[in-house]
Structures are given as C-alpha cells and as structure tokens.
Amino acid sequence: MISALAEWNHWWKEKAVEADLLGKERIILKELKKETSREMKLLIGIRRSGKSTLFYQLINQLMAKNIQPEEILLINFEDDVLAKKSLREIFDIYQSNINPDTKPYLFLDEVHRCKEWVLFLRKLYDLKKVKQIFITDSSSKFIKSEYAQALTGRTTRFIVLPLSFAEYLNWKKINFGHLLNREEINRIKKELFSFLKWGGFPEVFFKNPALKKRILIEYFNDVIHKDIVERYNINYIKIKPLADFLVSNSTCLFNLRKYSRTYGLSLESINTYLHYFKEVFLFFLLPKFSYSVRTQQISSKKIYVCDLGFFNNVGFNFSENIGRAYENAVFIELKRKQKEIYYWKNKYECDFLIKEGLKIKEAIQVCYDSENIDVKKREINGLMEVLKKFKINRGLIITEDYEAEEIIEGKKVKFIPLWKWLLQEREE
C-alpha cells in the first residue's frame, strides 16, 4: 500500500508536481482558491472533465506556499490496490509511515470506489484531524443513501464541466474583448465551429483531429461502462443502445413509451437508466414548464448531452445538424451558470425558459437559420407566446450571425450570434 501511495504522491520524493500533470488553468480553479471555508470541497462532473488536474493544480499551489510535500495526501481510488482498502486503513498507513506529526491536506479521487470512507471521513473532519479535504467523483450521487446524512452540512459542491467557449479561446490565446476588429471576429467564428464539432474535454483539446474522434468514443463508452455498468451492475447490452439513441436525438423530445415499444425495454428500466445518465452527467433531461408538478412529471423531457464532442462524433454528422448543436451548446452554457431551465410547448414552442424563484424571468429561442423567413417567424411566435404569457418585456433569440434589436408587438426582441452570447455570458 505504501508503494501504491508513493506512486500517486510522487511529490513526497520529487518535491514537486510533475509539470505534465498540471495542465492549463480554468475559471473554476479561481473559485476553489477563493473558497476558504473549512467545509470539504466536493468536485463532481463527467468523467475526464479535468477534476484530477484541478487536484494537481491545488497541490502545486499548496507547495508554492511552503506546505511540505509529506503534508499532502492524494488517494486515487481508481488504483485497484487502494480501492480494496478502507479509508481508515489507508490513513493509518500514511500516518505511521509518512507523516505522523502534522495534520495533512487530504485529496480523495473517485471516492465512490473506496471500500469504506464516509463515517471515518466525518470523524477526521469533526475532530479536525486534517487541514482541508478535497473530494472528486464522476457521479452526483457518490454516497450510498444510508450514509448521505453523515456529511450533510459539511461539504461545498463545485460542478466541473468540460471547457466553456471562453475557456477554449483562452487556451487558444485568442482575444475576445469588447473592441474586436473584423479579423478577430472571423477568427472567433472559426474557433466556434471547431468548439461545436469537438467539444470541450480538456485532453481532446490538445489532440489532432485524427485522434479526437477516437478519444471521444472511448470517453463515451467509459462513462457507460465504468460509471454505470460497474457501479450499478447494469446489463451493458441493454443500456448502450439507449445511450446511442439519446446522443443521436439530443435536443429532441424523448417519448419513453414509444422507445419501450420499439426496443422492448420496460418503462421502469428506461426510467432507471435515464436517472443513472443524469447522475453521471452524461445526459440532462429538460422538463416542460407547468405550474403543475404532476404535468411536469408526466410530460416528455427534452434530452441534451453534456458535451458537443459526443453530440457530433458519437451521435451524427455535424454539418447536417449544426442547428441542433447550437441549441445543445446554449443548454450546456445555461447549465454551467446553474440556471433553473424548462422548455415551453403550447400552441407554439420556446426552447428555454429561465425560472428564478417562483417566476419565469427569461425566454430564449435558438434560431440558427434566421435568414429563413418561415423559421424566423416560427421562432418569434414561440417567443412572443411566452413573453405575453409571463408578462416579460424582452426576449432573446440566439442566431448564427444576425444581430439586431426589434420591437415586436410591444416587446423588445434581441437577436445575438451564438459566439457573442457565449462570451457575454461568461463568468468574470
């Protein structure tokens, strides 16, 4: 066990984090640095979104503040040796062999694979036996229900998603400030096309196009196999076709009964699998807005995939479905901002309603083909229905390139290109 720990904690010997593990900085790192409360910091999100790299960056910063390497303990439970042991066993070995005197900084990676950890971690926290605790997991439900209350009030959550478009441009070292010339705007548009095609997984960013598709397919299969099939003992042959169907039909309404009749999978199984997909951040289910909770529950959900790379390389041909890629990109960005989102469907449809408290505050349509008069009219009709219904004075239509403000039936409608909206909406 000492040997396994030493492999993951190479800074005990090298006195530094290997440069190859540090990656590039992201916005969420600044948020983590600002968070000085004592609560355990919980980083959850889709597999391969960069959670482990954030660990290495945080560890590197601790050592830059003269924290001794032996005071930092990283336990990666993807290691089969460590996964077979309880957290108490591992911590005792660490204390008795590496650091018997000092309260350590504790980093737990993919903690759900640990044999036993919740109650002992609570004890370490409550008795102040560690200075800080950082945890990652690729599922939003990483604690068994019988132990969930043990950590209630002791954690602060951070959702780690693949790169935003603003982060993507930062990594490309492309300027996206306010005063952009035509050449800079054209460069941003070109990069948007690449971002929509390949998505924002950090490792994929650095690969050449010949490898990107293969890596994305591997990621998709790994999420299903490692985070669902292995964790919940699910039949891979049953769940994989559903995942393939959903990624190919992202942004569309999903009819459970129709899928059940066509593919012979029970409604109970479909609902269970959808729940697992949501837990591991692979797919999101967008409910129809209604003041009736029952209506929301029984209405069909719209499906969105967590990353555009899956959307375009596991699902279907990108160039033929760029309008749907636009809509999925908008959804992910709204999710990144932790908005409460619904879709609207009555006489007309509206892509996104944003709810704050008890009220609908915003309405957003996504209209890639805004030059098509019929399409533009349809999107405006859906938007106007919502603006009137909820007494909202202005609405938003996200486009490919059209930018304007129009007064329609007494309501202000703003048209804005996707690239500009993604950058305007970025977190500072």
pLDDT digits (tens, 9 = 90+) for 185-235: 999 999 999 999 999 999 999 999 889 999 999 999 999 999 999 989 999
| Domains, the chain, ordered by start | 2-159 (3.40.50.300), 165-424 (no CATH)
- How far apart are the two ends of the chain, measured CA to CA in Å? 43
Are the C-beta atoms of residues 263 and 241 closer than 8 Å to each other? yes
Say whether 286 sits in a helix, a strand or coil.
Answer: strand
Say whether 218 sits in a helix, a strand or coil.
Answer: helix
Each residue's pLDDT tens digit, 56-71: 999 999 999 999 999 9
- Is pTM beyond 0.85? Reply is yes
Rounded Cα–Cα distance for residues 371 and 354 (Å): 26
Rounded Cα–Cα distance for residues 130 and 154 (Å): 14
**Residues of the chain predicted below pLDDT 50:** 426-428
Q: What was the pLDDT predicted at 304?
A: 98
Rounded Cα–Cα distance for residues 315 and 311 (Å): 5
315 CB contacts (<8 Å, ≥6 apart)?
247, 248, 249, 250, 305
Each residue's pLDDT tens digit, 133-156: 999 999 888 776 656 778 888 999
